[in-house]
Structures are given as C-alpha cells and as structure tokens.
Structure 1
C-alpha cells in the first residue's frame, strides 16, 4: 500500500476508539458512587463536597471541588477514580475541546465536578464525543497545522496533540479500571460478602 493512501486521521482516531470500544467502555459500566469516591489509602486526593477538603488547594465552580496543590507534593498524593476522571474530563479533554474545537471555555477552577459516578461518566462521554468529532473534522490537512499558543509547545502539529491526548486517555482510564479491580478485591461488600 502506498503510504500516501493511508488515512492518517482515521488511524489516529482508531488508536483510541478501538481501546475505548473493546477494552475501556464496558469496564466502566456499573461504576458505583462508592467506587468513584473510594480511596485505599488515607489522605488521597479526590472530588469532594465543597468545603470538606483538607488538600492544600481546591478548585471547581459547583457543589463539588477537586483536590490539588501547587507545587504538587512529593510524593504525589494517591488519587481516586473521581479525581482521575475529573482530570481526564477537564484537563485532558474539555480544555482541548475549547482550545481547538469550539467547546465552551473551561478550566479546573470553572468546571462543575461530578458528585456521582453516573454524572462523571456522562461528562466523560460528552467530552470524548466532542474530541473525536473535532479530530475527525481536521481531515488530513488539519493534522499538519501547528497547535498554536494555547498549548505548551505551540510549534507541534495537531497530529502530535492527538497522539498525546490518546496516550493520556488510555493511561488514565486504564488506571481507573485497575482501581475498580482493586476495589472489588479489597472491599468485602463489593464481592457480595457480609450482605
């Protein structure tokens, strides 16, 4: 096959879409609020009702805020599924959708973090749909344009950003799946014991 005939846009989308459709999405079905907020260690960072966090800093515009600190403590605190989904939804997807695909302008400070697992999954699916629709709209030529000043490395191409975002999604959402496994094998009530 001539490399010029390869549909790079489709190939880049499929890097994430295949993983989402065949490995990740079904693993998120049935995510409970207990799992969403669960921390296997004390003092983990999470999404919490406003005013209840003990983290050095909190951000968010709604009834729930996300924990963080600047500079980030060393070692970095453990983060819950709620925190990881918040990071993916806002920092990985929504800010990029705003910068590149006409999404609403957002930040960690202005986001209304989800107070339930089902709301977080709805937010995730909405932002994923905006992202993948935006990437599709780039076609082949749009992948070659520089990402511009809204990104830390403005000279990089959109194809570089797409690869980066897909790596972030696969990485963090795989962590969420691992935490679900840990919860299932750590919490007796999740296994149906003591009911």
Structure 2
C-alpha cells in the first residue's frame, strides 16, 4: 500500500525525532542535526533512575512504594511509574505502544498492562520498539483513514473524537516536545558528572 502523500512529511518528521532521540540515548554517536556525527554517552542505569529534584515522580520498585509526592505506582511489573489520580504522566514508550495497538492491533491493552523497564538499555530498546510499532501502524493506513474519527481507539486521549491525522500530528508534537526534555535532562546529568 502506498503511503498517503499528506502523511509523508509527518512520517518523515516522526522518523527524524525517533531516530535522533534513540541515537542520543543509545550512543555512542548521533547526528548533530547537520549530518555531523558527534559522540554521545549512552543512557546509564544510574541516569535512568536519577531524580533531578527532591520529591520528583520517578520509576521505583513496587516494594518501596510510590515516593513522597506520588500516590500510586502505575503500570505492571516489579517496577512502577510514580503517579496520582487521575493517572498522569505517561511515558513516551507507553504512549506509542498503546496507541499503535489501539490503531492497528487488538485494541485491548491498558496502561495497567504496560511494563516499566528499570534498566537503561531495556528502556531505550523499549522506546525504539514502541516507536517502530507506531510507525508500522501509520504506514498501514490509507488516505481516508487519516480523516476517520475513531481510527485510533486509544482511550486516554482525544483519539476517539479526533480525525486520525490530528492524532498523528499530536504524537509527533509529543515526541518532539518530550524528546527535547529528555535530551536536556541527559545533558544535565552529564554536566553534573564533570
């Protein structure tokens, strides 16, 4: 199936943001944005669990509890993501994996099914896998699907009320916005090490 022409620039933007963030976190090199390869340190377990300010929400072992300002640990597994009701914030990997499934899969996983990955390499691989699943969901649609309301049935957003092209645009905006925050925290963690 041919990719709808109006989806191509949005998909290219997604691919660029996905690739740059994955490379920045995985290392050892990434594109500087102008084609120059620069060395970057990969995300470490210490950094992945780093809490840059007191009382921040983070991922924690379920046995230790949610931390001082969160009221629950969301997601599945031995580790959970600090949260409170209503359940926020979501991790980028979770958002991409669940939206991909609710677009092109079983439409059944919930945020409670998503497993938090506590080690850095697994978290980076999980993000890459989730982003790849979202991309696969996108390249499998036709042009009329871009205008279809409820093409994505992801229940934790405006997806059921929006034309699918708006959901696709929103996911790109989220990846760009939060990817920049992740990159900044990555730089700050490295700066405090020096």
TM-score band w.r.t. shorter chain: 0.7 to 0.9
Per the alignment, residue 28 of structure 1 pairs with: 25
* Count of residue pairs the alignment pairs up: 170
Deviation at 1:138, TM superposition (A): 0.9
* Secondary structure of the corresponding residue to residue 150 of structure 2: coil
Per the alignment, residue 174 of structure 1 pairs with: 180
Q: Report if the CA contact (8 A) 1:147-1:161 is conserved.
A: no
> Structure 2 vs 1, CA of residues 113 and 8 (structure 1 numbering), >3 Å: closer, same or farther?
same
> Structure 2 vs 1, CA of residues 104 and 36 (structure 1 numbering), >3 Å: closer, same or farther?
farther
Considering Cα pairs closer than 8 Å and 6+ residues apart, tell me whether 1 or 2 has the greater RCO: 1
Per the alignment, residue 92 of structure 2 pairs with: 88
> Structure 2 vs 1, CA of residues 174 and 71 (structure 1 numbering), >3 Å: closer, same or farther?
same
Which structure 2 residue ranges, 5 or more long, are not aligned? 27-41
Q: How far apart, in 2, do the equivalents of 1:169 and 1:61 lie? A: 23
Deviation at 1:41, TM superposition (A): 1.0
Indicate which of 125, 130, 136 corresponds to 2:128.
125
TM-score normalised per structure 1: 0.78
Q: Any idea what the Cα deviations from partners look like across 1:151-173, whole Å, max 9, x if unmatched?
A: 53534211000000111111112
Q: How far apart, in 1, do the equivalents of 2:92 and 2:107 lie? A: 16
* Pair 1:64 & 2:79 matched: yes
TM-score normalised per structure 2: 0.78
Q: State how 1:177-188 maps to structure 2 within 5 Å.
A: 177-187=183-193
Deviation at 1:99, TM superposition (A): 1.2
Q: How far apart, in 2, do the equivalents of 1:137 and 1:71 lie? A: 33
Measured on the aligned residues, the alpha-carbon RMSD in Å equals 2.3
Q: How far apart, in 1, do the equivalents of 2:128 and 2:106 lie? A: 14
Q: Any idea what the Cα deviations from partners look like across 1:132-154, whole Å, max 9, x if unmatched?
A: 01111113222121126645353
Q: Report if the CA contact (8 A) 2:72-2:82 is conserved.
A: yes
Deviation at 1:116, TM superposition (A): 0.5
